[in-house]
Amino acid sequence: MFAIEANGQTIEAKRGETILQSLKRAGINVPTICHMEGLLPSGTCRMCVVEVEGYGGLIPSCSYPVAEGMKIRTNTPDVMTTRKTIIDLLLSNHPDDCLYCARNGNCDLAKLAADNGVRERSYQGGRNRRPKDISSPSIIRDPDKCILCGKCVRMCDEIQGVSAIDFIARGSKAFIGTAFNQGLNVSSCINCGQCILVCPTAALSEHKYVNEVLQALADPDKVVVVQHAPAVSVTIAEEFGFAPGTDFDGKMTAALRRVGFDRVFDTSFTADLTIMEEGSELVDRVQNGGALPMFTSCSPGWVKFVEEFYPEFLPNVSTCKSPQQMMGAIIKSFFAQKEKIDPKNIVSVSLMPCTAKKFECGRPEMGQDFVADVDYVLTTRELAELFRITGVNPAAIEPEAPDTPFGERSSAGKLFGASGGVMEAALRSAVFLLTGEEMQDYTIQALRGMEGSKELRVKVGDLEVGAAVVSSLGQARKLMDEIKAGRKDIHFIEVMTCPGGCINGGGQPIGADKSAIQARMAALYQIDSDDQLRVSHKNEWVQRLYKEFLGKPLGHKSHELLHTHYDKREVLL
């Protein structure tokens, strides 16, 4: 620690950090665009420039290390004019359709312009008109709105290790696109939507299905059934002005009924079902010499990633469908039979923190007799839109319980929303299934938290299990390369595509920083510690489903409805 001077006041700086980091800690705000927390600075946008006494010109604070004795000024006329000019230039060729824009209300570019007093157009720049890419079922790209900050490219490359997109061409003609500038649907894009979360404008947004859902709700001949993922109830409140980590579980259920859904089910129920199936699958693989380590298959971005980049590991991926697809499958089979509804008249909607789920529900494997398990997937953001359009305010509604038979859940199922949660839920049940005894303390601290990679060796009966949890595909890649190189001490691996798990999914409210994501995670842990039912195998309705319909885990019916298989996928890598 040493002292530097900023805007006339003395502040503390740590050796090795950037000027921006020191300023931020002291509460001095410097605007940034291309800066990404936790990644090396790229220093391309120049929004963060400051003056340092004795240094020529302006210094980009995001990439310049602090030094002893520095005298920094962040709000001289020169600095402020420069910022304004940069924003002016960014706006010079930006479309003026803010009123119709997907990011109206939470646009970083609009906020920068407002915060820095840019209130009229100084330059009229030539526009490179490029068509929207609507080829992907998950993500829409609108190059006209792109300001070339490069954050999506870095997210896709440095965090996810996918590199579906990059800068194409040069200078004023440069744009972001896929290899050979083809549609995102034929690229290596795994639909995770992390690019949407870092995009400062609406150049990237989710493929919306709100209108289709509204149409289904208005159709009297359709039974519209909805399920919601574990990570949606703890984030939807943010869209209505509540602090991150506020749980709207019961309120959301009540609100969904007001919107007009005929049944409201909880995907955490099929998360419990997943534990039963996947747990049995793991035991089966261990006892009968199946492919190990086994990877989870809940995260559709991850599944596509394996199909593209590591097809040799496909036998290691669990054959279980994801909880969303399991729910879809039992809604259109068990539920349809029980309620005597033709599955063709059921519209199955799913509320997910995820853009890749939109792709998953359209996979040809995910249905029976040409009826899709799940018809439409809405992200948390679209759910908020649905509530607003229909004039339902979840904040003002008394909580209600979800519908039977797929409403009851254990809090283990709820934990699926955070990285490490699937593993924690699986171990709780595995210990019981293999030893007949419940764990003393259900909480497994080593699997919790935001770290990208967590490992645990645990004794389950006589079995010593090596468990690994990774979130983000960059982390998954590292682990897979270790396994490829001969690592053998791991048996079960949970992979979540998004850093931190579904609570930070590509469909979640935009603008969450690390502390907001931690608050969402803490909310799930709180739900778990408050709950009476904390293990999947004690979920009574899951047991009843097996008794009345499925038979037993990995049984014939399960295989038909709840399991699938994946194939190598040919895309441009």
Partner 1 sequence: MPSVKSVETILMDHPDAGRDHLIPILQEIQEAEGYLSQESITKVGRALEMPSSKIFGVATFFNMFRFQAKGKYHVMVCRGTACHVKGSGRALDMVTKALKIQPGETTRDKAFSLEVVACMGACGLAPVVNINGQFYAKVSPMKLQRIIEECREKEQTHVHA
Task: List C-alpha distances in Å: 116 to 28, 49, 111, 145.
Answer: 15, 14, 8, 20
**Nearest approach, Cβ of residue 157 and partner 1 (Å):** 8
What's the farthest any 2 CA atoms get from each other in the chain? 80
Whichever of 240 and 313 has its CB closer to partner 1, that residue is 313
DSSP-derived secondary structure for 168-181: ES-GGG-EEEEGGG
**Nearest approach, Cβ of residue 165 and partner 1 (Å):** 6
Whichever of 119 and 173 has its CB closer to partner 1, that residue is 173
Task: List C-alpha distances in Å: 295 to 476, 497, 531.
Answer: 10, 12, 28
Q: Is the link from the previous residue into 31 a cis peptide, with omega within 30 of 0?
A: no
Does residue 180 touch partner 1 according to CB under 8 A? Answer: yes
Name the segment binding partner 1 (CB under 8 A); options: 12-20, 157-165, 476-484, 534-542.
Answer: 157-165
Name the segment binding partner 1 (CB under 8 A); options: 18-26, 65-73, 175-183, 275-283.
Answer: 175-183
Name the segment binding partner 1 (CB under 8 A); options: 3-11, 102-110, 174-182, 545-553.
Answer: 174-182
**Nearest approach, Cβ of residue 238 and partner 1 (Å):** 33
User: Which residues are known catalytic residues?
Assistant: 278, 281, 298, 318, 357, 360, 365, 502
**Nearest approach, Cβ of residue 174 and partner 1 (Å):** 8
Does residue 451 touch partner 1 according to CB under 8 A? Answer: no
β-pairing, 2-6 vs 71-73, is parallel
How far apart (Å, rounded) are the C-alpha atoms in residues 398 and 118?
44
Whichever of 33 and 162 has its CB closer to partner 1, that residue is 162
How far apart (Å, rounded) are the C-alpha atoms in residues 361 and 158?
28
Which residues are paired to 307 by β-bridges?
none
Whichever of 76 and 181 has its CB closer to partner 1, that residue is 181
Pick the binder of partner 1 from 119, 129, 170, 565 (CB under 8 A): 170
**Nearest approach, Cβ of residue 488 and partner 1 (Å):** 25
- Token representation of residue 476: 């998954």
- Token representation of residue 451: 């770290």
Pick the binder of partner 1 from 157, 262, 438, 531 (CB under 8 A): 157
Pick the binder of partner 1 from 9, 114, 122, 167 (CB under 8 A): 167
Does residue 163 touch partner 1 according to CB under 8 A? Answer: yes
**List of E strands, 195-310:** 204-206, 223-228, 263-266, 294-295
**Nearest approach, Cβ of residue 572 and partner 1 (Å):** 5
Alpha helices for 181-266 (secondary structure H): 194-198, 210-218, 249-259
β-pairing, 59-60 vs 49-52, is antiparallel
Does residue 129 touch partner 1 according to CB under 8 A? Answer: no
Whichever of 163 and 319 has its CB closer to partner 1, that residue is 163
- Can you tell me whether residue 271 is helix, strand or coil? helix
Pick the binder of partner 1 from 5, 51, 88, 166 (CB under 8 A): 166
Name the segment binding partner 1 (CB under 8 A); options: 155-163, 272-280, 436-444, 540-548.
Answer: 155-163
Pick the binder of partner 1 from 169, 243, 389, 401 (CB under 8 A): 169
Pick the binder of partner 1 from 22, 61, 187, 410 (CB under 8 A): 187
Does residue 164 touch partner 1 according to CB under 8 A? Answer: yes
Whichever of 164 and 456 has its CB closer to partner 1, that residue is 164
Long-range contacts of 35-44 (CB under 8 A, 24+ apart): 35/62, 36/151, 36/154, 36/155, 36/198, 37/513, 37/514, 39/154, 39/158, 39/159, 42/150, 42/154, 44/149, 44/150
Whichever of 11 and 186 has its CB closer to partner 1, that residue is 186
Task: List C-alpha distances in Å: 95 to 85, 124, 222, 452, 570.
Answer: 18, 11, 40, 38, 36
Task: List C-alpha distances in Å: 395 to 237, 383, 386.
Answer: 8, 14, 14
Does residue 572 touch partner 1 according to CB under 8 A? Answer: yes
Does residue 573 touch partner 1 according to CB under 8 A? Answer: yes
Binding-site size, partner 1 (CB under 8 A): 19
How far apart (Å, rounded) are the C-alpha atoms in residues 510 and 501?
15
Interaction residues for partner 1, span 188-207 (CB under 8 A)? 188
Does residue 472 touch partner 1 according to CB under 8 A? Answer: no
Does residue 158 touch partner 1 according to CB under 8 A? Answer: no
Write out the H or E segment, with its range, that includes residue 376. Answer: strand 376-379
Does residue 312 touch partner 1 according to CB under 8 A? Answer: no
Binding site for partner 1 (CB under 8 A): 157, 162-170, 177-181, 187-188, 572-573
